[in-house]
Amino acid sequence: MRYGKPALAVEEQADQLLHRGLLADHDELVARLSEVNYYRLSAYYRLSAYWYPFRRPGTDDLKPGTRLDTIWDRYVFDRQLRLLIMDAVERVEVSVKTRATNLFALKHGPFGYLDRANYAGMTEDRHSKLLESIRKEMSRSKEVFIRHYLNKCTSETDLPLWMAVEIMSFGALLTFFRNLDQHLKRRIAGAYGVKAKVLESWLLTLNYIRNVCAHHGRLWNRTIPVRPRIPYARHRPEFHTPVKVNADRIFGILTVLRYLLGKIAPQSRWQDRFEYLLTTKHPGIPIAQMGFPANWKDCPIWRKQSL
């Protein structure tokens, strides 16, 4: 089957939506569609995209009472949520990079990451790709510290680890961490009060979430395919009682980030900014679709004095 839908001018897109039952001012709708692609707001491939939930089953028509303001509010909330999540992910990334770098370099030296023997089970292909990604970033980087280093240390072709980590992508960090020996993994994870397998799964999930955010993907009511491991109740009961934290929706990701920020930056106002976004700026967001239980504020991780 060939794709047969014609391209529509923005005004024609607006007319089509109004005909399908959207309650909106025509000029405002045209302005919104000029800013944000029609497909981004409504696409079937997003399943729960911003106005897809308002469709009448089996048709392209919208349910009675569907307003542009409601749909736009969800879109804006999602964008602001992504920015807030990226802020938290950055703090986690920097923290893990710092701990991993310090421990690895003390054990294996500043260039020990170049030797595959210093890892646990690192395949030659994976190691080559890790070094290739770092060298690629190094060659195209405009960072002053890299130019200064190469001009000063003319015999070196690679960066010491504490410099390399500054240009390392989150994906490269994930590869680096996953292939450390168990002793180093346990020491790094222990700083956050969790097992190495738990931290590794969290980094894997955060890498996925970071990619969604970087590509401006819908996040607020997405079902998470790369789910973080929830610690066992005997190790971290605050993930289980009195609120069970599930990993399949964004509430689980937010709770993991809140937990980690409690270890990394206890005085951070990140939680305040999130609650302000949720309850003051966008109080109409249906938080159950984000995986929030009704009693989510009873979770010890979300109590400001608990961490």
State both tokens at 16: 């089509």
Residue 166 lies in a domain: yes
| Distance between CA atoms of residues 145 and 82, nearest Å | 30
State both tokens at 97: 């990079």
CA dihedral 251, 49, 19, 31 (to 10 degrees): 90
Are residues 231 and 128 located together in one domain of the fold? yes
Last residue of one domain, picked from the residues 24, 47, 66: 66
Are residues 197 and 62 located together in one domain of the fold? no
Are residues 215 and 298 located together in one domain of the fold? yes
Are residues 19 and 112 located together in one domain of the fold? no
**Helix/strand/coil for 23:** strand
pLDDT at residue 240 in the model: 97
Are residues 170 and 60 located together in one domain of the fold? no
pLDDT at residue 8 in the model: 81
Which pTM does this prediction carry? Answer: 0.91
Are residues 44 and 161 located together in one domain of the fold? no
Tens-digit pLDDT profile for the chain (307 aa)?
A: 776 778 888 888 889 889 989 999 999 999 988 888 777 776 543 434 677 788 888 888 889 999 999 989 999 999 999 999 999 999 999 999 999 999 999 999 999 999 999 999 899 999 999 999 999 999 988 889 999 998 899 899 999 999 999 999 999 999 999 999 999 999 999 999 999 999 999 999 999 999 999 998 889 999 999 999 999 999 999 999 999 999 999 999 999 999 999 999 999 999 999 999 999 999 999 999 999 999 999 999 998 754 4
Domain around 56:
10-66
Quote the number of domains for the chain: 2
pLDDT at residue 43 in the model: 52
Are residues 61 and 90 located together in one domain of the fold? no
Residue 188 lies in a domain: yes
Are residues 191 and 271 located together in one domain of the fold? yes
Residue 72 lies in a domain: no
pLDDT at residue 48 in the model: 47
The number of beta carbons lying within 10 Å of the beta carbon of residue 20 is 16
Are residues 55 and 120 located together in one domain of the fold? no
Are residues 123 and 144 located together in one domain of the fold? yes
Residue 161 lies in a domain: yes
Are residues 165 and 294 located together in one domain of the fold? yes
Residue 71 lies in a domain: no
**H-assigned helices in the chain:** 10-19, 26-35, 38-42, 68-108, 124-140, 144-152, 161-164, 170-178, 182-190, 196-214, 250-264, 270-276
Residue 5 lies in a domain: no
Residue whose pair of structure tokens reads 């510290």 in the numeric block: 145
pLDDT at residue 45 in the model: 38
Are residues 154 and 197 located together in one domain of the fold? yes
